[in-house]
Amino acid sequence: MEFLAGFRAPIHALTRMVVGLLFAMHGAQKLFGWFGGGPDEMNAMLWAAGTIELVGGSLVAVGLFTSLAAFLCSGTMAVAYFTVHQPMGLLPIQNRGELAALYCWVFLWLASTGDGVWSVGRRR
């Protein structure tokens, strides 16, 4: 079905912006305790994840170095899934890893599609 074909570029841009912003908020939550507070104890892994989430999500949201940032974010979510969630059960629905799996795949898609319209990268 091609009834939304004419909206492909804006939908791509809005998806990039929303996903990047939501991901950056996870980083701000971990690092600064914003949006409902962060983890009880920070360790090097959480600090690295929070930094990648905040910086990578922000870069994706504005569309600057989107492919590289999204690829790094995707890898971070793959690591999170297999180290935190997968040991608790085989499937994401069993181990509460749906969000990590979804972020991983959406960021991989964004890494393959790039900045798109309405991006800082396109204006450079």
pLDDT digit string (tens) for 63-102?
Answer: 999 999 999 999 999 999 999 999 999 999 999 999 999 9
**What does the DSSP 8-state code read for residue 122?**
H
Q: Label each residue of 34-97 as H, E or C.
A: CCCCCCCCCCHHHHHHHHHHHHHHHHHHHCCCHHHHHHHHHHHHHHHHHHHHHHHCCCHHHHCC
Question: Look-up: residue for tokens 């090097």?
Answer: 44
Taking alpha carbons only, the member of 64, 73, 63 closest to residue 106 is 73
pTM: predicted TM-score of the whole model, two decimal places: 0.95
CA distance 52 to 59: 10
Taking alpha carbons only, the member of 124, 116, 89 closest to residue 15 is 116
pLDDT for 1: 64
In percent, how much of the chain has pLDDT > 90? 93
pLDDT for 70: 98
CA distance 78 to 97: 10
